[in-house]
Chains A and B, each alone.
Chain A
């Protein structure tokens, strides 16, 4: 019987499963489907090529083989899709593969009653960051001198972005070098500190797998009781084989995680410093960048924190409709409602047709709010700093206290 905190090397016992490194994730997903613990698996599969990561809901475990392997150009966020298109998992059980940002988004959606986390098995994935597909292709062409159409596999390993071509050519370039030139990982990934998302039920990756199992096993950490049950069930069902992890491997895994967290913090400092401070600096810069906004609503549609049926940005008295660019109030509403809970998933920057670095602005504010209020979004079910209140109800509540001390009545426990 495993328990939260236990760690294993795990690999598939199913002959046809070929994973990224051992096939443990794919096997666990197979177990969950075959045993009907879940009705479907939400994950990504290769679309037209290795740069095209297509979200997919798998209901037949025979289709899981297509989803095996890592796609570093998988940049989409899965949890919002559950809210939008799968009724928030309220009437179905799902297993979902989660990068750090996916995991955090899950919790924020759950806090707002937009998905039922009890119905979801979160299979966490270590993530060093993803690369936008077209950037990857342009990068491979210009920096590697390789035709991107010839690439059959890509990976991020030991600080390098490595590609393999169909005739066996291997080439890697340091991620740092690429990012100095504005290429490489998405900018929010560069700032990210959630490399091993332990808020999932189990978390899997290849960091720390050394010795004869290197490249052939997945490092699995159990993170919850649900995770323990799932893992033990998979082993018992015969789809998974395990062994204890090499203690040196554990150390290495910890080291890699710490290095990446440090890198994330460093990039935050660097990127946030570049947008200035205060009303003369940061605010002016934000107003200039957002003046290109064409009201596509992409940021709102893709944001895991946004869920209002009647979005305030669509209220004519707050943001006059049909005007371009929209009044700065549009951006202020987003900042005011989202900033405390931004999980730095980067979707708002990815989808913006006018290249406005939305997630940079939002994340910068979240970091300040975290310093003030101590709230870290996406880790657990702790409620956010900001909460929706009906004015009439709130006034009644405050009145009933018989006191006019707002701070005491609102902020104190």
Chain B
């Protein structure tokens, strides 16, 4: 009949945090309709958002709990599943337990998992996929500014006089932020784009810096060298608002960072580097925008520090159109970090090792015994190493909404790690590659079937609103965790009846969220954290007068350039870099089940420079062998003049040609992020008959 409802919600894909209307008819989501009122995306969407309804009612949705009995998955009741899980988890010591939370579920779900890990499992071995993407940011900017988050907000990027985009293919990965970059340009801003690949984002550039993957610190130090040499630094800002300048100056003014030497390392011309330095320093307001190209290196933290150094040097902070703007990937990775789904923090970045914080949370939660100790736990990349190098130390794992068997580096290493897990619980909306190793699989609700909040990359907390019921017996993630906790005797500590209640408990313990509640969040604008009191209107731009460090000063962390862990050599002559494509999301569980998106890009490819391809005798569309020291795969070649000679690229979404079989598990020593963006590869033509 004439039954049509519009439920305003937020896109489940990337960290831009676009809003749209879910169109509901007869109790089911039937489409997505624009929501022009949203200040973030103004009714506009990328193809993923446009078709974000297509996977919701897929017949593949997990609908019942399952237990693996004699190697076969058997559907069971929630009661049996949760009892079985409780029984098994109790067998292990706290130090043997670990958990992976999810950057794709709500803040409430993440807070519940954090409380569960620390209060029930008594472990700090808690992490999530932020480790793999922006852990460099969180660690790096926390040191430089006292806060590891995007300093400005999405709308004010359009007011910039110069956008400097480095390591972010914004038009493909955060299209509605790419729009702001374009809007700045349309108003006359300079547009600098640094990437080894000439992507669609590059097509708008006034200055395209096609540089070698992994030479970021060299480039950034080179820019600072040129700026100081020409006296273009913001002396007042440096003097009044920073410390450590002399050390920075000493490092970047070394001859190794002059234009000519940096040109050699990066593959750029001295003129281009000089132009960039001029525009960044002298345009009257430069916004630096970065993403995985900066973070996913063994020097990820150094890269991040270098971006912060550059912006502090030029006074490009604390005003609209400026800032250091890391674009968080997942829709709620910012929130998952904020909620403390990390081995070193409670929610609000309050340290696990701080006895005061320990007491604050222990007292608030009221567990009968003490919670996890004041000792940092393992990051997910370290968990994988420990599982392989020291089998028996970690014995059981609880995973919510993550797929390490596709997303972690060096998948053979990951498989080995997972073989050594005795008891594994996986909670998700679809059966994925990680489920192959699960002892118990639990069906969860998706974004359209829940109330909750998510925090986008610009620290904006926004609402999800329930548009339809979940299929079968699927439940909210926080509800499932509460049920397991109850089976383990902790019903009291997990007694929430609604997502709103969880949010209120979390906000009472988390300074940045303290002034927020569901009523205040019931606006199209949401609220930017920090929002410390009920009257606080939120903070779109950070660091206006002071930084969030203890003394309010920004800190220069000078960094020497170091090459990636594995560079090309005679045997493996090309650089291998990985990334995303616009139409698919990460391990493909949702987008490959969306017919429109799947049809657009049905499978993966390896991008090879046309000159390189010619030398190898490889044609466009041909299957080739791509081999690194980790493994070899067959994948289709896409020949392109857009990628730098000597560099190859693969998207990581496709299980049948899984890029992460090839990637390197080399980690940044500080934040433990893998070097997805650079390792060494060889490409071989598959001769006929092979």
Name A's B-contacting residues (CB within 8 A).
39-40, 42, 47-49, 51-52, 54-57, 59, 73, 75-76, 81, 84-86, 92, 94, 132-134, 137, 291-292, 294-298, 301-302, 314, 321-322, 324-325, 350-355
Give complex CA distance A54, B38 in Å.
Answer: 12
A26 to chain B, nearest CB (A): 18
Q: Mark B158-194, 1 if CB is under 8 A from A, else 0.
A: 0000000000000110011011001100100000000
What CA separation (Å) do A123 and B45 show in the bound complex? Answer: 31
7 pairs of A and B residues whose beta carbons are closest in the complex: A40-B2, A353-B44, A322-B601, A52-B37, A57-B4, A324-B200, A133-B37
Q: A295-B47, A350-B34 are in contact. Are A321 and B600 (CB under 8 A)?
A: yes
B172 and A52 form a contact (CB under 8 A):
no
Task: Provide the bound-state CA to CA distance between A133 and B38, in Å.
Answer: 8
Chain B residues near A49: list those with CB within 8 A.
Answer: 37, 523-524
Supposing A57-B2, A292-B204, A314-B599 touch, asked if A353 and B34 sit within 8 A by C-beta, the answer is no
CB under 8 Å from chain A, chain B span 1-58 = 1-6, 8, 21, 23, 25, 30-31, 33-34, 36-39, 41-47, 49-51
The residue on A at minimum CB distance from B47 is: A296
By a CB distance below 8 angstroms, the chain B residues around A295 are 47, 582-583, 600
Known: A47-B8, A75-B36, A296-B175. A355 touches B204 (CB 8 A): no
Contact A57 B3 (CB under 8 A): yes
Question: Which residues of chain B from 573 to 628 have any CB-CB distance to chain A below 8 Å in the complex?
Answer: 581-583, 596, 599-601
In the complex, which residues of chain A have a beta carbon less than 8 angstroms from the beta carbon of B39? 134, 137
Known contacts A132-B42, A355-B182; is A86 also within 8 Å of B175 by CB?
no
Of B176, B182, B596, the residue contacting A297 (CB under 8 A) is B596
Q: Contacts of B49 on A, CB cut-off 8 Å? A: 296
Of the A-B pairs whose beta carbons lie under 8 Å apart in the complex, a sample of 13, sorted by A's number, is: A39-B2, A42-B4, A54-B8, A55-B6, A76-B34, A81-B23, A292-B204, A295-B47, A296-B45, A321-B599, A324-B199, A325-B203, A354-B178
Query: Cβ of B522 < 8 Å from any Cβ of A?
Result: yes
Chain B residue at minimum C-beta to C-beta distance from A353: B44
A295 to B51, CA, bound (A): 12
Chain A binding site: helix, strand, loop or mixed by DSSP? Answer: loop
Complexed CA–CA distance, A351 and B179 (Å) = 12
A39-B2, A354-B179 known; 5 new pairs, CB 8 Å cut-off, are: A39-B1, A56-B4, A57-B2, A59-B2, A132-B36
Do residues A134 and B37 form an inter-chain contact, with CB atoms below 8 A? yes
B42 partner residues in chain A, CB cutoff 8 A:
132-134
Query: Could you tell me if B582 and A92 are in contact, using CB atoms closer than 8 angstroms?
Result: no
User: Which residues of A sit under 8 angstroms from B43, Cβ to Cβ?
Assistant: 75, 132, 350-351
Given A56-B6, A85-B25, answer yes or no on A92-B182 (Cβ-Cβ < 8 Å).
no
- A350 engages B36 (CB within 8 Å): yes
Report the Cα distance A296→B46, complex, angstroms.
5
Q: With A and B bound together, what is the CA distance between A322 and B591 in angstroms? A: 13
In the assembled complex, the CB of B216 is this many whole angstroms from the nearest CB of chain A, namely: 24
- CB-CB under 8 A for A92 and B37, given A132-B42, A353-B44, A355-B183: no
| B41: A residues at CB distance < 8 A | 353
The distance from the CB of A43 to the nearest CB of chain B, in whole angstroms, is: 12
Contacts of A40 in B (CB 8 A): 1-2
Cβ contact within 8 Å between A355 and B4: no
B-side contacts of A134, CB under 8 Å: 36-39, 42
For A351, the chain B residues whose CB sits under 8 A away are 34, 43-45
From B33, B36, B524, B581, give the contact of A81 (CB < 8 A): B33
Q: How far is the CA of A152 from the CA of B618 in the complex (A)?
A: 65
- The CA of A86 and the CA of B45, in the complex, are separated in Å by 23
A48 touches B46 (CB 8 A): no
Q: Are B2 and A354 in contact (CB under 8 A)?
A: no
CB distance from B603 to the nearest CB of A (A): 10
Set of chain B residues within 8 Å of A94, measured between Cβ atoms: 2
**Is B4 within 8 A of A86, CB to CB?**
yes
- Contacting residues, chain B, for A137 (C-beta < 8 A): 39
Contact B34 A302 (CB under 8 A): yes
- A294 adjacent to B200 (CB under 8 Å): yes
For the complex, give the distance between the alpha carbons of A84 and B172 in Å.
28
B47 to chain A: which residues have CB within 8 Å? 294-297
- How many Å from the CB of B359 to the closest CB on chain A? 40
The winner among B30, B46, B178 for most chain A CB atoms within 10 A is B46
| Minimum CB–CB distance for B540 against chain A, Å | 13
Query: Are A92 and B36 in touch, CB under 8 angstroms?
Result: no
Assembled-state Cα–Cα distance A56/B182 (Å): 34
With known contacts A39-B2, A84-B31, A292–B172 Cβ distance under 8 A: no
Q: Are A52 and B524 in contact (CB under 8 A)?
A: yes
A81 and B4 contacting across the interface, CB-CB below 8 Å: yes
CA distance A314 to B599 in the complex (A): 9
Residues of B with C-beta under 8 A to A39: 1-2
Q: Which residue of the partner chain B has the closest CB to A325?
A: B200
Residues of B near A133 (CB, < 8 A) are 36-37, 42
A355, B583: Cβ atoms closer than 8 Å = no
- Could you tell me if B2 and A298 are in contact, using CB atoms closer than 8 angstroms? no
B12 to chain A, nearest CB (A): 16
B4 contacts A353, C-beta separation under 8 Å: no
Give Cα A114–Cα B36 distance, bound, in whole angstroms: 25
Interface string of B509-536 (1 = CB under 8 A from A): 0000000000000111000000000000
Residues of the B chain whose Cβ atoms lie less than 8 Å from the Cβ of A292: 171, 182, 200, 203-204
Task: Point out the residue from A48, A56, A86, A297 that lies within 8 Å of B524, measured CB to CB.
Answer: A48
Closest beta carbon of chain B to A197's beta carbon, Å: 22
Q: Given the known A-B contacts A294-B200, A297-B596, are A355 and B33 also in contact in the complex, defined by CB atoms under 8 Å? A: no
B557-582 CB mask vs A (1 if < 8 Å, else 0) is 00000000000000000000000011
CA distance A84 to B523 in the complex (A): 28
Q: Which residues of A contact B21 (CB under 8 A)?
A: 54
Nearest A residue to B204, CB-CB: A292
- Name the CB-closest residue of B to A39: B2
- Nearest-CB distance from B524 to chain A (Å)? 6
Q: A48-B522, A75-B36, A325-B203 are in contact. Are A353 and B179 (CB under 8 A)?
A: yes
Inter-subunit contact A291/B8 (CB<8 Å): no
Kindly list chain B residues whose C-beta atoms are within 8 Å of the C-beta of A301: 50
How far in angstroms is the closest Cβ of chain A from B167?
18
Q: Render B663-677 as a binary contact track against A, CB cut-off 8 A, 1 for contact.
A: 000000000000000
Q: A85 to B31, Cβ gap below 8 A?
A: yes
Do the beta carbons of A353 and B599 come within 8 Å of each other?
no
CB of B586 to closest CB in A, whole Å: 17
**A291 to B199 CA separation, bound complex (whole angstroms):** 12
Q: Assess whether A322 is in contact with B2, with CB atoms less than 8 Å apart.
A: no
Nearest CB of A to B25, in Å: 6
Min CB–CB distance A95 → chain B (angstroms): 10
Q: How far is the CB of B682 from chain A (nearest CB, A)?
A: 26
CA–CA, A325 to B36, complex, Å? 24
Q: How near does chain B come to A295, taking the closest CB pair, in angstroms?
A: 6
Residues of A near B175 (CB, < 8 A) are 294, 296, 353-354
Q: Which of B4, B34, B523 contacts A48 (CB 8 A)?
A: B523
Give every chain B residue within 8 A of A75 (Cβ-Cβ).
36, 43
What is the CA–CA distance of A301 and B32 in the complex, to the nearest angstrom?
A: 10
Contact B186 A353 (CB under 8 A): no
Q: Which of A40, A54, A354 has the most CB of B within 10 A?
A: A354
- Cβ-defined contact, B524 with A324, below 8 A: no
State A151–B547 Cα separation when bound (angstroms): 34
CB neighbours (8 Å) of B172 from chain A are 294, 324
Alpha-carbon gap, A97 to B511, bound state (A): 48
Chain A residues lying within 8 Å of B38, measured Cβ to Cβ, are: 134
Collect the chain A residues with CB atoms within 8 Å of residue B599's CB: 314, 321
**Do A353 and B2 contact each other (CB < 8 Å), given the known contacts A76-B36, A294-B175?**
no
Distance A51 CA – B5 CA, assembled complex (angstroms): 19
Chain B min CB distance to A51 (Å): 6
Which A residues touch B37, using CB under 8 A? 47-49, 51-52, 73, 133-134
- Across the interface, name the chain A residue whose C-beta is closest to B537: A149
The CA of A301 and the CA of B52, in the complex, are separated in Å by 14
Q: Whole-angstrom distance between the alpha carbons of A137 and B523 in the complex? A: 14
Q: Shortest beta-carbon distance, A149 to chain B, in Å?
A: 8
